[in-house]
Amino acid sequence: MVSYHPSLDAVHSAGAAAVYTPPTPYQARPELYGAAFSVVDDAKDKAKQLSAQAQREFDKAAVKAKPSTGKMELYSGSYYAACTFGGLLACGLTHAAVTPLDLVKTRRQVDAKLYTSNTQAWRAIYRAEGVRGIFTGWSPTLLGYSAQGAFKYGWYEYFKKTYADLAGADAAARHKTGLYLAASASAEFLADIALCPWEAVKVRAQGTIPNPYAGGALDGVRQILAKEGAAGLYKGIYPLWGRQIPYTMMKFASFETIVEMMYARLPGAKADYSKAAQTAVSFSAGYLAGILCAVVSHPADVMVSKLNAARAPGEPFGAAVGRIYKDIGFGGLWNGLPVRIVMIGTLTGLQWMIYDYFKIFMGFPTTGGAAPPAEQNE
């Protein structure tokens, strides 16, 4: 009968054959693998510990930043104050950081023949004025866009909630894009009143060679007030509204829509993603929205630069616009568009990232989606 089990002699023979033999020089040394894998595992564990520690420190800082009286509620006075400060940081810092781009863009809008390219412009400015020259206009930019950002983001959050409550939950959900457009237009109207004086100083400082306001932003304000009065600081308000209101309507409505589309196509819900992932979504959506903003608002941006640089004291607004358009034509309204696309795309992406990160830091959700109806926030 055939046996289906090995004999006792066969088992003993196999055990004797399994004696350890050292590896040859051409074979890997398995005893080294254990140490290597141990080092990798230790590094992974340390990285996880550091990441967890960093998150704990962030959460502690966020808790300390909140009022000691209790949790900050959505759509409360503290919430709008936090959004206002977040907007100040987001717009002031980013606009000041891209002053060299803005300088070249403004000068090429004022005089299209001044430079042959952006690189040639920066080289020429650096040779003539040094690093300080490349950052001409940074102080009115920082002050003006800090004020504008505070008004824009703070009032946007307020108007978005207010208009949603007025419309009702169902209408707000059905017409949320219209809600974003109305809220952003209202916010930007007020924000431009805060921006306009500083924008007038910035454009003249950047568009005039040499800079007539070497003493800085306050020196520029004093000179304009002395020569032209308060009207001199606001002579660009109409084209500024014409540039900024469509720009902001596109910025907020397209951002909210793109964020919603991105999360709809990503696996899981928005709440499932980490804070870093949510701010990455904010940057990506903001950059795409910025490209659209740049195209929509560019003709008005050129006109703002021209009016602040070339409008004569007392010249009627309509006459000045007609004269400038006659000089530059339709094509001239698009001077500097490529560099503005890069500048505005980067600016808008960074602004939304900073703003949403600050909201997370303060314990609020990132931007995206219509405000919930009033009864849900009681």
95-146 tens-digit pLDDT = 999 999 899 988 887 887 889 888 999 999 999 999 999 999 999 999 999 9
Least confident of 27-31, 170-174, 205-209, 249-253: 27-31
Lowest model confidence (mean pLDDT) among 27-36, 38-47, 182-191, 276-285: 27-36
Query: Strand, coil or helix: what is 39?
Result: helix
What's the topology of domain 74-362? Mitochondrial carrier fold (1.50.40)
What is the model's pTM?
0.73
Mean pLDDT of 19-28: 54
CA distances from 79 to 85, 154, 196, 362 (A): 10, 9, 27, 9
Inter-residue contact 159 to 83 (CB < 8 Å): no
Start-to-end CA span in the chain (Å) = 87
- The residue among 54 and 235 whose pLDDT is bigger is 235
d(CA 116, CA 122): 11
Mapped onto helix, strand or coil, the DSSP state of residue 134 is helix
Q: How many CB atoms lie within 10 A of CB 80?
A: 17
Collapsing DSSP to helix, strand or coil, 27 comes out as coil
Residue 128 tokens, joined: 């003539």
Q: Report how far residue 247's alpha carbon sits from residue 145's, in angstroms, rounded to the nearest whole number.
A: 14
Cα–Cα distances in Å, from 289 out to 125, 134, 346, 351?
Answer: 31, 27, 10, 11
Outline where DSSP puts E strands in 281-374: none
Distance of CA 257 to the CA centre of its chain: 16
If you compute the radius of gyration of the chain from its CA atoms, what whole number of angstroms results? 30
CA-to-CA distance for 272 and 269, rounded, in angstroms?
5
CA quadruple 150, 223, 200, 230: dihedral sign: positive
Reported as a pLDDT band with limits 50, 70 and 90, residue 40 is: very low
Domain definitions of the chain by residue range: 74-362
pLDDT digits (tens, 9 = 90+) for 218-263: 999 999 999 999 999 998 898 899 889 999 999 999 999 999 999 9
